[in-house]
């Protein structure tokens, strides 16, 4: 009898364990605030310039975060959410603009400027090193003048 | 030594100046567009395409010969709520006419909230999202609500920055344009 009870209890426990993953889809269905914010931090609402969507407090931004939650619930990937927002509201909403057209400048200019500055610095450093160091004593004229001055001072003492 | 490095030096200078001029030109273009201000009376209205929430495509070419009241709004915009009532009442006044059309353009809005706003305020004239904020940008709007009234020649006849305060205010503007024909 005890064995039967143990078997039943084990069976119920197993069923409970097996049943728990069934709750997972509903938990996955509604994304958490952190999941929404992870996407939202890479978006900017045009109304609130320079404020990332995850920390923006306006009604418009709250609606956008709701929209992100809806899209994630529908099964959109992060990239698909960005594509959706870019199509709806323009590429200006993306924190990282796609590398197309004039956007290429954003990616090319900073490394180009850094590279150019590095080359310029390297070239100038080489020149400074190669420049002839001041050699010998001070010009003779100065020496002569000092010597003459000393002599005259001595003569007056 | 100096003579050997000269061609490289000249090329470097040309490249540096070229880069500088290009950058200045880009900055200048950006400044110019940001300093243009809103559209003014008499300017040709920009071409646009509005795909309404119910799937109808309306282009500016379809609107030739009509007085167009193009209202840019958003569901999160508080002044837009009162204005929506005035606009709908004005639309009811002109709805039977073939030569007047009202259009609503939802700016930076989610479809669900836009549709809720439209239902809440009983708006019946065509409304659609401003996809890519292209209409807002081409009309050089600076906020919401803003309303552009376009005459039958396709020119900007009136720009209202902020909400209309009454139905009569809208009717006065539209009637004046209808009388001009």
In a domain, B65, yes or no: yes
Q: What is the pLDDT of residue A28?
A: 57
What's the average model confidence in pLDDT over A129-145?
69
Residue B55 pLDDT > 60, yes or no? Answer: yes
What pLDDT is attached to residue B8?
66
Q: Which residues of A77-113 are buried (b: 16+ CB within 10 A; e: fewer)?
A: eeeebbeebbebbbeebbeebeeeeeeeeeeeeeeee
Res. A58: pLDDT tops 80 = yes
| A47 — pLDDT class (breaks 50, 70, 90) | confident
Under the banding of pLDDT at 50, 70 and 90, the label for residue A24 is very low
Q: How many CB pairs under 8 A join A and B?
A: 37
CA distance linking residue B26 with residue B103, whole number of Å: 35
Contact between A62 and A70 (Cβ < 8 Å):
no
Q: In chain B, which residues touch A (CB < 8 A)?
A: 16, 26, 74-76, 108-110, 112-113, 129, 131-134, 137
> What is the pLDDT at residue A135?
62
| CB-based contact B174:B91 (threshold 8 Å) | no
User: Is A26 strand, coil or helix?
Assistant: helix
Q: Is B43 inside any structural domain?
A: no
Q: Are residues B74 and B163 in the same domain?
A: yes
B155 and B74 part of one domain: yes
| pLDDT at residue A21, rounded to an integer | 35
Question: Containing domain of residue B7, as a range?
Answer: 1-35
DSSP state of A91: G
Q: Which residues pair with B72 in a beta bridge?
A: B105, B146
Q: Residue A33: name the closest of A47, A50, A53, A51 by CA.
A: A53
> Mutate which of B6, B11, B108, B137 to disrupt the A interface (most A C-beta within 10 Å)?
B108
In a domain, B44, yes or no: no
User: For residue B151, is it within any domain?
Assistant: yes
Six token digits for residue B139: 């009309």
Indicate whether A126 belongs to any domain. Answer: no
- Segment A15-44 mean pLDDT: 68
Task: Indicate whether B31 and B117 sit together in one domain.
Answer: no
ipTM of the complex: 0.75
* Dihedrals phi, psi of B145, to nearest 5 degrees: -80, 150
CATH number at residue B126: 3.40.30.10
Check which CATH number belongs to the domain holding A113 and give it: 1.10.8.640
Question: Does residue A108 sit within a domain?
Answer: yes
Distance CA B109, CA A82 (A): 16
Residue span of the structural domain in which A85 resides: 28-120
Look at chain A and report how many structural domains it folds into: 1
Q: What's the number of domains chain B is made of?
A: 2
Per residue in B95-145, pLDDT tens? 999 999 999 999 999 999 999 999 999 999 999 999 999 999 999 999 999
State how far residue A123 is from chain B, nearest Cα, in angstroms: 11
Would residue A17 count as lying in a domain? no
User: If you measure CA to CA, which chain B residue comes closest to A93?
Assistant: B132
Q: Is A84 part of the contact surface with chain B (CB cutoff 8 Å)?
A: no
Give the model confidence (pLDDT) of A70-120 as tens digits. 999 999 999 999 999 999 999 889 998 887 777 777 788 888 889 988 988
Cα–Cα distances (Å) from B74 to A113, A147, B70, B109, in that order, read: 42, 90, 13, 6
In a domain, residue B68? The reply is: yes
């Amino acid at each position: 009898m005890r064995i039967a009870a143990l078997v039943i209890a084990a069976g119920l426990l197993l069923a409970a364990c097996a049943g728990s993953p069934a709750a997972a889809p509903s938990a996955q269905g509604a994304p958490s605030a952190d999941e929404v914010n992870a996407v939202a931090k890479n978006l900017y609402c045009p109304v609130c310039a320079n404020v990332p969507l995850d920390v923006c407090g306006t009604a418009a931004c709250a609606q956008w975060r709701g929209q992100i939650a809806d899209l994630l619930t529908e099964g959109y990937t992060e990239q698909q959410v960005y594509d959706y927002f870019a199509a709806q509201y323009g590429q200006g909403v993306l924190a990282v603009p796609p590398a197309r057209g004039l956007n290429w400048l954003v990616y090319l200019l900073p490394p180009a400027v850094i590279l150019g500055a590095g080359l310029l610095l390297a070239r100038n450093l080489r020149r400074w090193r190669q420049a002839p160091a001041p050699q010998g004593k001070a010009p003779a004229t100065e020496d002569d003048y000092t010597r003459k001055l000393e002599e005259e001072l001595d003569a007056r003492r | 030594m100096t003579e050997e490095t000269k061609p490289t030096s000249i090329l470097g200078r040309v490249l540096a100046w070229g880069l500088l001029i290009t950058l200045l030109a880009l900055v200048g273009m950006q400044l110019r567009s940001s300093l243009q201000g809103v559209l003014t009376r008499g300017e040709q209205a920009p071409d646009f395409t509005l795909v309404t929430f119910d799937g109808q495509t309306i282009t500016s070419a379809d609107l030739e010969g009509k007085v167009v009241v193009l209202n840019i709004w958003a569901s999160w915009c508080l002044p837009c709520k009162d204005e929506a009532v005035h606009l709908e009442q004005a639309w009811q006044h002109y709805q039977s006419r073939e030569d007047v059309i009202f259009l609503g353009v939802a700016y930076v809005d989610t479809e669900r909230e836009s549709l809720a706003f439209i239902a809440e305020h009983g708006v019946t004239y065509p409304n659609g999202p401003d996809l890519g904020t292209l209409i807002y940008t081409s009309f050089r709007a600076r906020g919401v609500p803003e309303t552009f009234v376009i005459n039958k020649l396709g020119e900007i006849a009136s720009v209202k920055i902020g909400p209309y305060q009454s139905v009569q205010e809208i009717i006065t503007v539209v009637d004046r344009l209808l009388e001009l024909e």
